[in-house]
Amino acid sequence: MDLSDAEFDDLVAEALDRIPPALATLMDNVVVLVEDEPPPEESGVLGLYVGTPLTDRDSGYTFRPPDQVFVYRGPLLRMCRDAAQLAHEIRVTVVHEIAHHFGIDDEHLHEWGWG
């Protein structure tokens, strides 16, 4: 599937815009980044959360760099056959990785259909 970087970034922004405002305001010290490919040790993933989930933070959590949510362009483009499927998979990836920021594990995400 052929899509410009800007068009892909727009789909990620749209997925972020679909996060309910009440939930989005609870996100703290996290940045969403689009990268071309995952690191070799994470090959095959569509996204990745790197950081300290909100549920694991305490009063000692200060002056830390932001948590990172990565969305990987290459794997998503390769797995999707059209723009509608790509938009859907980006949304699922964004929701999945943001859920990790809130301390929700893969088991629960899979149970809820966000695997």
With beta carbons less than 8 A apart as the criterion, state whether 89 and 115 touch: no
Q: Is the pTM of this model over 0.85?
A: yes
DSSP count for the chain of H helices, then E strands: 5, 3
Per residue in 27-57, pLDDT (tens digit) is: 889 999 999 999 999 988 999 999 999 888 8
**Distance (Å) of CA 9 to CA 22, 34, 82, 96, 109:** 23, 7, 16, 17, 24
Per residue in 66-105, pLDDT (tens digit) is: 999 999 999 999 999 999 999 999 999 999 999 988 888 8
Question: Between β-strands 67-72 and 47-50, what pairing exists: parallel, antiparallel or unpaired?
Answer: antiparallel
Percent of the residues in the chain that have a pLDDT greater than 70, as a whole number: 98
- At 72, is the secondary structure helix, strand, or coil? strand
5-53+65-104 has which fold? Zincin-like (3.30.2010)
pLDDT at 115: 62
